Amino acid sequence: MFAKILIANRGEIACRVIRTARKLGVRTVAVYSDADARSLHVEMADEAVHIGPSRVGESYLRGDKIIAAALTTGAQAIHPGYGFLSENPDFVDQVTAAGLIFIGPSAASIRAMGLKDAAKRLMEKAGVPVVPGYHGEAQEIVLLASKAREIGYPVLIKARAGGGGKGMRRVEHPDEFSEALSSARREAKAAFGDDRVLVEKYVDKPRHIEVQVFGDNFGNAVHLYERDCSAQRRHQKVIEESPAPGMTEALRKAMTDAAVKAAKAINYSGAGTIEFIVDASQGLKADRFWFMEMNTRLQVEHPVTEMVTGTDLVEWQLRVASGEKLPKTQSEIALTGHAFEARIYAEDAAKGFLPATGTLHHLRFPDAAPQGATMRIETGVRAGDAISPYYDPMIAKLVVHATDRQAALEALGAALSRTEIAGSTVNTAFLAALAADPDFAAGDVDTSLIGRHQAALTIVPPPSGETIAAAAVAASGAGASPLSDDPWSSLAGYAHFHSVARRTWLKFGEDDIAAKVSVRPDGRFQVALEKPYDDTNSHDFRSTSRLAHWPGHITVFEGAVGYTFAVPDPLARADEAAASTGSLRAPMPGLVKLVRVGKGDTVIKGQPLLILEAMKMEHTIAAPHDGVIAEIATEGAQVTDGTVLVRFVEEHNAATTAVS
């Protein structure tokens, strides 16, 4: 076993690797950028080395700096985590040339599976079924459009390098092909440095089912059963589970046999995942699955496999890379119970899952799983940490395990309802709604489920009168007084003949809320709400325990939903100028990738004006109304959240940003 390893990653996965290394007595070296100088993975590691500015191209993608850090600190091997350099064969060659060990597959294996088109040709030769489509080298638009017609619409354009839904477009009609191809190529180029694509048949009711495989350097390869990752939005996974609901023994055997065959075809060593697309239109059948791609690394969703098989895949990675054989044979790997993983992100589900930033002023996960279940939280952040625009906005992975799917699903819902996060917009309410969705609960899941139910899954009911009253109590200061060490504060609600009402103000969205809060003799709070909530006027209650105070705000938690109220500064000008309604502002930090109109152009409502690239995804900014362009951002400009992107000659009410 290694004495010391370097982890060429950050956040949740770096922390995950450190925990297993510590268990095995292996010392760890972290690397960090400017933005991560005080991050959790830096604190947890035995040593840490600064490798550059916040942008990934100047830090976490600098293989030379990472290798230099490993050599300087005496690390024997480099664990790449996932993302960044984890599937870069040139980096693997550089690591090996430096006399270090790469904790993962060989550069040859990564190259064999790194490009989707070449990988599919290889799998065809190995006897693994592949999706019908065009996987050739020629990339002329005329040829690709012709192949799309031959395949039959709808088709899927996919970047041949990388994954995560980037550079992927579904095309319903030939007239849409050219625009979709251009968009997919731009996104693929930005994310992977390669704008080449392949074109495949779009399966009508697709299930995304993948098989965890593991190989060693002695020719052994095993599978650790399947994961269902069909619950996706914008081709990105949201909730994963194992085993796949409705899985038949015939299909499981066919898929796992094909997965092991694929791994052995490239002499694979280490953790890998074979991803299949399954046609579920007529149920799960052994002849209706096809190879999509292989991820030659540890997957984000690997904990669900660990839960149902009782393994530590990171430990397996370290043991195999250090020269040991696989810890278990195929017959020794059993599948027990059911597990779910929910990815908690800083994002606004109601606004098309826009990534969010902010400081996690309040972060609290459940202390334990419900009776009969087990739970683990995989995270790389703590309360007080910031979600920056430089990296993936994942906050945590909530993983539960129970005896069967129903019990595990109930445990997932309960854990989400007790998760509290304030300071950034998060997706916990969406995740809880998805877990409770009747189709999802029944196991009737395909990759379009979220898209079909998106409106219902992302709608958040307005706060109840009780929630508003709780926020008013907290804003008034009365709610904290019984716990205060200050004896005068404890009398805040006292008067000789009657309680003194405190008037307080809140803001929720566009609504200004006024309330009068008083403390009754029995310790309960009485809240009288004024406009616009005076139809639910008076509220009496004793406790306001599920809330968080943070600068200028109060968040009250109702189940998995966090309602955030702004607390206006009483000294602020009441007539502070409102934002102009004749302009569009950036909904998040990003790069103005493409500008479609110019100054003086007349535009109509819904017309695309520019494309904003943020977190390696493209977002179309469209005109909220008819008008004439007075000013528009410059192509190539880097903008921050709230930057004015477009101004109109004419003023219109309720100008908003449409993002797709």
Active site residue 297: yes
Reduce the DSSP state of residue 643 to 3 states and report it.
coil
Could you give the CA distance from residue 423 to residue 484 in angstroms, rounded to a whole number? 24
Q: Which of 169, 227, 297, 502 is catalytic?
A: 297
Residue 486's Cβ-side half-sphere holds a number of Cα atoms within 13 Å equal to 8
Tell me the two tokens of residue 529.
């709400």
Cα dist from 600 to 309, 583, 605, 638, whole Å: 63, 15, 16, 23
Residue 388 burial (10 A CB sphere; 0-12, 13-18, 19+): middle
Which segments of 559-607 are extended strands (E)? Answer: 561-566, 583-585, 590-595, 602-603
Residue 371 burial (10 A CB sphere; 0-12, 13-18, 19+): exposed
Give the residue among 636, 660, 618, 620 at the shortest CA–CA distance from 165: 618
Residue type, 582: G
String of DSSP letters for 514-551: EEEEEE-TTS-EEEEE-TTSGGG-EEEES---SEEEET
Four-CA torsion 80, 86, 89, 91, nearest 10 degrees: -50
Could you give the CA distance from residue 500 to residue 350 in angstroms, rounded to a whole number? 40
String of DSSP letters for 428-487: HHHHHHHHH-HHHHTT---TTHHHHHHHHHH--PPPPHHHHHHHHHHHHTGGGGGG-S-T
With beta carbons less than 8 A apart as the criterion, state whether 201 and 132 touch.
Answer: yes
Q: How many residues does the chain have?
A: 660
With beta carbons less than 8 A apart as the criterion, state whether 344 and 419 touch.
Answer: yes
Could you give the CA distance from residue 186 to residue 181 in angstroms, rounded to a whole number? 9
Could you give the CA distance from residue 654 to residue 648 in angstroms, rounded to a whole number? 13
With beta carbons less than 8 A apart as the criterion, state whether 622 and 647 touch.
Answer: no
Could you give the CA distance from residue 201 to residue 147 in angstroms, rounded to a whole number? 10
With beta carbons less than 8 A apart as the criterion, state whether 561 and 460 touch.
Answer: yes
Q: What angle do CA 452, 456, 457 make, to 5 degrees?
A: 85
Which active-site residues does the annotation give? 297
